[in-house]
Amino acid sequence: MRVRSSVRRIVQMMAIVLCLFVSMSSVFAAVNVTPQGKPDGSISVTGTSDHKKAPVALLVKEGNETRYINQGMTNDQGEYEFSFQLDPEKAYTGKVNVEGETKTFAISTKKQGEGGGTGNSGNPETPKPGTDKSKTIYLRIEGYNQTILPRTAITVDNFDLTPYLGRASGSSATPSDGWGPDKLPNVTAMHGIIRGLEQAGINPKDHQSGADIQDYGWGLYVAMIGGEREFDHRSTSGWMYRVNDELPSIGGQGYVLKDGDDMVWYFAAYGYDNMYSKIAANKTSVKPKEEIEVTLTSPDKGPVKNAVIYVNGQEAKNSGRKVSTDEQGKAKLTFDRPGSYTISAERFKQDIRDLIRPNPIKIEVNGEAAAPISIEELKKQFEELLAAANKEEDMVALIRQAVDQAIEAKRENDTQITEAIKNMQTIAGWIDKAAAKASKPASFTALAECNLRLLELAGELVDKPLSEAAKKEIEAVAIILLNGYVTTISKADEAGENAEAFVRLIKAVDKLHGKIDEKKIRPVIERLLSKSMEVAVKKEHIQDDGTKSLVIIDDTIINEIERVQQKQKAIKQGIATSKLNATYLLDKPLTLLIPPGKSDKVRIQIDKEILDRLVNSINIRTQAAQFTLQPAAFAGVIEQGKVLMLQLDKVDAADYPAGFVSASESVHSMFLIDATVTGATVVPQQPIMFAIPYELLEGAALPAVYTSIKNERVSVPTTYNKDEKMLVTTLSAPGPVLVLTGQTGAYTDLAGFEWAKEAIYALKQKGIISGTSEMTFSPGKSITRAEFAALLARAYEQPATEKKLIPFRDVTADKWYAKDISVVYHAGIMTGISVDRFGPEQVISREEAAAVVSRLLKQKKGIGPQQPIELSFKDKQAISEWARQDIAFAVQQGIITGMGDQTFAPKRQVKRAEAAVMLYGLERLLIGK
């Protein structure tokens, strides 16, 4: 039996603080324990107590590691029994707790004669009854995101806990008779946490955001501290406590404190699997550049590896790279400048903290800082390393040093700022040259970090008063650094490709937003974020017999998918307020990349148990096509123990179904899609999303796409994803997919309107907008309110409202736009220019159009500004009061922009090209792009 997983099942309702249930009785009764271990690892612990129908807790350890923990109740005779399985040939110690009285014992699963068999019961640990007045202890409270109370000496008195307690949320609660000194005669850990919260400025009586200590009658349970509640982050999350580094087996109201006790309350996202840690250093007083070694250990589990060291609340960096602990829990640090430094550590597992921050240590650095090396000398050293062989690590280390110096250099006057820009340009060139020569993933990780740090420096520089020439230089180097980051991070190791680095990148680019051309930045960011949501299937998961490739999706692949999805979630949270508004990229399904095989025929095998682990849809992409696997689509058609087989075959003419393609048709490609369980085709409960790579020429119409339903060829709806260059279609059932060759048809009058071409052709392909003739679009022509209403109605397929009356006397039923105006009016998207007039032939203004698209976005997406947005346009006073906040929101979302001279021109007429760009931007936001 896997002990930890069984523990979670037993105590799921109690989260990870299952031991916080035992009450401290003022009357002490006898507890007896009889442990029995067998060579096969089976163990039973039985005993008696004078307490009848009372809570009983059991804790079993191997050395310092907890191996088994459970709770139960004594019966009518005060008897209890636990049976469980541990490892054979082992020795354990245990502790039983009944109503505050404890009994220790030893137990072994070794063979008789080797120390096995029945264990020996120990002596009670519970102190004798009496009434404490106060105890002086040390207390620390570690929340998930921050330290709530640093290690502090506090005096804890014995007081009535009852006024501080909330109602129990679990079903095991019993009537309570209070928790005063008559019931708890000694100062306990629960008294300590309440006084500690008050010391930290947190109201323990505020059960919404202060503390939620729940009264179960038979015990107390800490459900929340400082707004951090049980089950936040994971199903195993909750509050725990330790005293003198030991994990008590008794609840907080039952643990009696002694003078000098060192108590820590902490939030553990992974429950007992979290690493409780301590940090130490081999030196606490050093000179600048003198190396120290810190060691991070867990009292229960030994050295803590892969934890990031923090200095003064920031990640420690060694030439720009995170300082992390090695296999022995050790890490090395140096400090360039004199001062006092506080050292701590953090660690994450699937982007969730699995380390309890240690009590920090302080390092004093005394003496003068080392002088930096000139950029000319560094340049000379770099060129020598670049020309030499086997100097990759030295070359990367030199670049790190150069970046360190560039960041540490003063930037207070024009001369220093000019020098900083020049040095950035130089180092950016070094990074590109080093990346061209590098081969090790760790080197690419380091170079990506150097690119990122210089981008952050560029973001700082653009806020300074700069000449136009300096601004252009920063823009040029920022684009180089951004593209350099994409190049290096794509070859980096896993340590470099993390959520935090992406968030830092977006924040750095945000600082450059509005200062450099966004059109040069956005494509790079979009490519980078899309790349971050890909999982490549390794060759060991593929069986290729030459005619087809079989991909088996197993636990290893699912674990990687879950890891990337956690990273995706963390990135989305981190860039939610980004000015680039790129979070729509993170709403897309993760992509599982299947490498090319010997043929274009692929089978994907996934069993029911693995499918059940998939929470969100994923795109399965082969060289020839892409299939969106929606778990809910197949969950109801596969029985437990069965296997789903997906077929994605690109076929040639010899494989076409008879009569499906006529000789006169020009075929682009054809596919056979199938989903089977034990050889029989199954129909998914949701439509199948299918896509193929397709280059749609400018102005071209979408190609015709067909499938077969009941042996009849039918057309299927198709859209085009310009960003990914994919033709996307939806199938109601498995079957063939035939793609014919599309036709061209570009407009000839778009010269000077290149900025609108993408929007015009995208809306044309969807049938939303059309030209004024077959070859012309008339992009500079003004658009009327009726035409704008028609575009909105057509684009978002509002339900028909022909039978609903509209109050506008200038919109009669025989007008071509009557139905469209009815649609947008009753949908609350557009209103009239007065109570009874719509003004259909009146040209729409920029402020009217911006307000309309803003209103539709809020309505469709259910989003909007949380507080008023300040407009920065010079002519903002010319904007009508009723339209200001709608315009501000539309500008914030990137749907509409100013005129380039810091004005908005609210009364100016909207041209057809502008209308297309607005609607295209709105459409992309609505569909999550």
Q: Of residues 362 and 251, which shows the higher confidence score?
A: 362
- In terms of DSSP bridges, do strands 211-215 and 165-167 run parallel, antiparallel, or are they unpaired? parallel
Rounded to whole angstroms, how far apart are CA atoms 805 and 849? Answer: 24
Query: What pLDDT was estimated at residue 12?
Result: 36
User: Any idea what the Cα angle at residue 886 is, between residues 885 and 887, rounded to 5°?
Assistant: 90
Q: What is the rounded (10 degree) CA torsion for 283, 289, 295, 296? A: 120
Q: b/e per residue, 105-127, with b = 16+ CB within 10 A?
A: bbbbbbeeeeebbebebbebebe
Distance of CA 330 to the CA centre of its chain: 28
Residue 872 confidence class, pLDDT cut points 50, 70, 90: confident
Q: What is the mean pLDDT of the chain?
A: 83
β-bridge partners, 740: 667
pLDDT tens digits, one per residue of 285-331: 999 989 999 999 999 889 999 999 999 999 998 765 689 999 999 99
φ/ψ of residue 391, rounded to 5: -120, 25
- DSSP for 60-126 reads EEETTEEEEEEEEE--TTSEEEEEEE--SS-EEEEEEEETTEEEEEEEE-SPTTTT-BS--B----P
Residue 816 confidence class, pLDDT cut points 50, 70, 90: confident
β-bridge partners, 57: 71, 97
Mean pLDDT of the region 790-816: 76
Residue 895 confidence class, pLDDT cut points 50, 70, 90: confident
User: Any idea what the Cα angle at residue 376 is, between residues 374 and 381, rounded to 5°?
Assistant: 100
Residue 24 confidence class, pLDDT cut points 50, 70, 90: very low
Range name among 104-118, 308-322, 516-530, 731-745 with the lowest pLDDT average: 104-118
* Residue 802 burial (CB count, 10 A): 9
Model confidence at 862: pLDDT above 70 = no
7-12's contacts with Cβ under 8 Å and 24+ in sequence apart are: 7/68, 7/69, 7/70, 7/272, 8/235, 8/236, 8/271, 10/70, 10/71, 11/69, 11/70, 11/71, 12/235
Rounded to whole angstroms, how far apart are CA atoms 608 and 633? Answer: 12
Model confidence at 799: pLDDT above 70 = no
Query: What pLDDT was estimated at residue 1?
Result: 28
Query: What pLDDT was estimated at residue 206?
Result: 95
Residue 2 confidence class, pLDDT cut points 50, 70, 90: very low
Residue 131 confidence class, pLDDT cut points 50, 70, 90: low
Mean pLDDT of the region 66-84: 83
Most confident of 71-75, 174-178, 573-577: 174-178
Residue 779 confidence class, pLDDT cut points 50, 70, 90: very high
Query: What pLDDT was estimated at residue 431?
Result: 94
Rounded to whole angstroms, how far apart are CA atoms 904 and 913? Answer: 17
| Residue spans in the chain of domains classed CATH 2.170.130.30 | 134-273
pLDDT tens digits, one per residue of 373-383: 888 999 999 99
Most confident of 144-148, 465-469, 655-659: 144-148
* E strand intervals along 170-282: 211-215, 220-225, 228-229, 238-243, 262-268, 275-276, 278-281
| Contacts for 742 with CB less than 8 Å, ≥ 6 apart | 668, 696, 697, 700, 701, 702, 703, 704
Mean pLDDT of the region 249-266: 93
CATH architecture of 540-740: Sandwich (2.60)
pLDDT tens digits, one per residue of 40-66: 888 999 998 888 877 788 888 887 777
Most confident of 303-317, 451-465, 684-698, 844-858: 303-317
Model confidence at 363: pLDDT above 90 = yes
Query: What pLDDT was estimated at residue 197?
Result: 96
Rounded to whole angstroms, how far apart are CA atoms 248 and 66? Answer: 11
CB 331 within 8 A of CB 282: no
Find, among 499, 505, 511, the residue nearest to 525 by Cα: 505
Query: What pLDDT was estimated at residue 13?
Result: 36
CB 485 within 8 A of CB 452: yes
Range name among 1-15, 665-679, 698-712 with the lowest pLDDT average: 1-15
Find, among 579, 504, 456, the residue nearest to 872 by Cα: 579
Model confidence at 773: pLDDT above 80 = no
* pTM, 2 dp: 0.49
Find, among 63, 115, 66, 68, the residue nearest to 89 by Cα: 115
Pick the CATH number of 134-273 from 2.170.130.30, 1.10.1200.10, 2.40.50.420, 3.30.750.210: 2.170.130.30
CATH architecture of 276-365: Sandwich (2.60)
Query: What pLDDT was estimated at residue 461?
Result: 87
Model confidence at 623: pLDDT above 80 = yes
Mean pLDDT of the region 176-198: 94
Query: What pLDDT was estimated at residue 442?
Result: 85
Model confidence at 112: pLDDT above 60 = no
DSSP 8-state assignment for residue 584: G
CB 49 within 8 A of CB 56: yes
Name which CATH class applies to 375-532: mainly alpha
Ranges of H-type helices in 596-752: 608-613, 631-635
Q: 323: which 2 tokens?
A: 């300082």
Q: How many helices (H) and strands (E) does the chain have?
A: 18, 46
Q: 284: which 2 tokens?
A: 């606490």
* Residue 422 burial (CB count, 10 A): 14
Find, among 136, 138, 134, 153, the residue nearest to 262 by Cα: 138
DSSP 8-state assignment for residue 291: -
Query: What pLDDT was estimated at residue 4?
Result: 33
DSSP 8-state assignment for residue 27: S
The alpha carbons of the chain give a radius of gyration, in whole angstroms, of 34
Q: 64: which 2 tokens?
A: 């310092």
Mean pLDDT of the region 107-136: 56
Find, among 108, 37, 55, the residue nearest to 45 by Cα: 37
Query: What pLDDT was estimated at residue 310?
Result: 96
Range name among 24-38, 782-796, 810-824, 872-886 with the lowest pLDDT average: 24-38
Query: What pLDDT was estimated at residue 278?
Result: 96
DSSP 8-state assignment for residue 680: E
Rounded to whole angstroms, how far apart are CA atoms 796 and 773? Answer: 24
Query: What pLDDT was estimated at residue 11?
Result: 35
Task: Assign residue 89 a region (left: φ > 0; alpha: ψ between -120 and 50; beta: otherwise).
Answer: left
| Residue spans in the chain of domains classed CATH 2.60.40.10 | 276-365
pLDDT tens digits, one per residue of 682-721: 888 888 889 999 887 766 667 878 888 877 888 887 888 8
CB 774 within 8 A of CB 732: no
Residue with tokens 């729509």: 584
Query: What pLDDT was estimated at residue 303?
Result: 95
Residue 577 confidence class, pLDDT cut points 50, 70, 90: confident
What interhelical angle do 499-512 and 441-461 show, nearest 10?
Answer: 30
Rounded to whole angstroms, how far apart are CA atoms 394 and 386? Answer: 10
Rounded to whole angstroms, how far apart are CA atoms 173 and 215? Answer: 8
Model confidence at 169: pLDDT above 60 = yes
| Contacts for 513 with CB less than 8 Å, ≥ 6 apart | 521, 579, 580
Rounded to whole angstroms, how far apart are CA atoms 58 and 210? Answer: 31
| Residue spans in the chain of domains classed CATH 2.60.220 | 540-740
Model confidence at 3: pLDDT above 50 = no
DSSP 8-state assignment for residue 722: T
Find, among 314, 311, 315, 368, the residue nearest to 338 by Cα: 368
